[in-house]
Amino acid sequence: MRMLTLAAFLAAACVGMPVASAQQVPATPADVAQPGGKVPGAPKLALVKVADGFHDPVGVTAANDGSGRIFVVEHAGRVKVVDKSGKVLPEPFIDLTNFNPLGTDVQTGFVEQGLWSVAFHPKFKDNGYAYVHYASLPFNGASIIARVTVDPKSPDQVTKEQFTKSVKVLMNIPQPYYNHYGGMIAFGPDGKLYIGKGDAGWEGDPLNAGQNLNVLWGKLLRIDVDTDDDTPYAIPKDNPFAKADKPQLMSLFGITETGFTVNKIGSRPEIWAYGLRNPYMFHFDQKSGDLFIADVGQNHWEEINYQPASSKGGENYGWKFNEGSYCHPALSADQKCPIVGVLPIAEYPHSEAFGDGTKANTGGCSSQGLGVANYGGLNKTYMVGDWCSGRLFGVAWDDSAKKWQLQEFMQTQLQFTAGNVDADGTVLAVNCYCFYTDDKGPNANPTGALWRVMPADKVPTGAELAKAK
Amino acid sequence: MVSNRFRQCSVSFLAAVAVNGLAVSFVAAGDVADFKNPLDNSPMTFELQPGEIETPAVKKFKETGDNDYRGNADAMADGKKLYVSNCIVCHGADGTGKMGPTLVGKDVVYKQVLTDPGMFSIIYGGASGAMQSFHRRGMKQDEMLRIIAYVRTLDK
């Protein structure tokens, strides 16, 4: 009895400990923010064009080497460099379309396939390691995560010789369907590489990948890339399922109930979080280390997930049992079903909010996280752009109301595909003219652009702004 | 079978009459004011595609806002084909919206959709996000007028 009390006391003390972050993950669907909220301190915003002429830009990453360069990912398999002055260098930084003498290495047959992301090792300035994630043509559309080493004598271009010489493949994840790959890869504040991996496609997660710990699909993965070159990667010891699958002798009826909570035979130790549908974009707040994930929804709801920097991983975000805080399939607003795992902090509907045809003209169809803003009055505000409706949203904790807020900042003509933060913390966004119903191919679509999200009163004179209302 | 077909014809004939009636009431002097960008209301210019000829219907439409293809069975049949290949995925077969918003009824995202010049401006130049410019996609202005004539028949 005394021990129990002590345990309860310790538990309470532990829960109370991370005082630094007052945010709470919603406990009930009513706590999940929906459009119509107000982000505290938000100024009027504007999208300022940095550069254009990119062929289907679908990813962007700022250099972490003090060079001020911004790297824009082109769908077909190229990474372009925008230098400090805003000039786009003519030669790509990385070109996956020409190092293989048989042709491109990138599968782009469907609009969700292609090169998605480039990430730089935390010590990139010293080791020159850059990482890419793309759909491979030779491997029938499998996800490839590979590292290349930049030659310091050629910092703006990895030649095909250098690419071939230095490339190290870390992961090759087969893909059964041509959609829901996820895409983004990024280093966390802990120096580990995080990988957004979709549920492997079709619609409605027919493989139940989101909930299946035995597969890498439908997950946020976390790996340690700092290994010898003959080892692709290592499992961080503190991954939530790092030891769940350790070899052990079989002992029928010998596992305790507590044992079952940690022993998940067959679990993939790379998993950090699960129950995700298509986490194409996710971002760490550079200030707090907290993580936001924009999980693209099925037919009706887009969701934004959050975990504090203190998270130990293992969160289940509910797909395919839930879509946002609603049921999946989402038949109607008053439908009842269990909430599985952790609720999102925010959600917004498609034009049809439910299968019963309920209309919501404030909707979208595909949430792309852009980055966490801490400027211009914004405080830890996750910026999210929608691919279909051109809406720009912000999600932030409102400390006076003690709840999350989701505010639509503007509606633009842009199809947002991706974003990130610049070296100075400014949120960047890219847009394409690529869409399911209008895809002429990654090199033939009209070109897209790179934008900065800025407070309207800080816009330089003469800057080109995105049309917005 | 024959009688069914006959009934369909007469219904569409009645619909055409009703739509024509609406069109007359829409074509007011202020109508052409809806030739505008839906986000910031800036004025539009409508460039032709390389080799595209400005048809009499398009020419008259730009001057008066009056869409001659409304109620024109051939034009509306063309409009339906174009709607099926270009619009149906997002706006649905009945125009009430799917991935994209509704095109029928009064509860449209952009009020200018209620007039033909307003809808034409959006098809030509795009609205937001995935509703991108069909001019950029290579569509001719005469085709846009035919699509509009068909979409109006969905508005029951």
A103-144 residue pLDDT tens: 999 999 999 999 999 999 999 999 999 999 999 999 999 999
Rounded distance, CA A158 to CA A151, Å? 7
Most confident of the following: B21-25, B72-76, B129-133? B72-76
> Which residues of chain A fall below pLDDT 50?
1-20
Q: Which residues of A touch B137 (CB under 8 A)?
A: 438
* Beta carbons of A361 and B102 less than 8 Å apart: yes
More confident residue, B80 or A11: B80
More confident residue, B51 or B17: B51
pLDDT tens digits along A273-296: 999 999 999 999 999 999 999 999
Question: A188 vs A194, A196, A391, CA distance in Å?
Answer: 7, 12, 27
Predicted pLDDT at B10: 37
Pick the residue of A358, A389, A433 with the most B CBs within 10 A to test the interface with B by mutation.
A389
Predicted pLDDT at A2: 37
* Beta carbons of B126 and A387 less than 8 Å apart: no
CA A244 to chain centre: 25
Is residue A432 within 8 A of residue A444, CB to CB? The reply is no
Number of neighbours of residue A174 by Cβ within 10 angstroms? 13
Rounded distance, CA A396 to CA A405, Å? 5
Rounded distance, CA A211 to CA A205, Å? 10
Nearest residue, CB atoms, B126 vs list A386, A411, A413: A413
Predicted pLDDT at B16: 39
Rounded distance, CA A381 to CA A395, Å? 5
Q: Judging by beta carbons within 10 Å of its beta carbon (0-12, 13-18, 19+), is residue A396 exposed, middle or buried?
A: buried
**Residue B17 pLDDT > 70, yes or no?**
no
* Beta carbons of B90 and A414 less than 8 Å apart: no
Which helix H or strand E contains A115, and what residues bound it? Answer: strand A115-120
pLDDT tens digits along A387-398: 999 999 999 999
- Three-class DSSP category at B64: helix
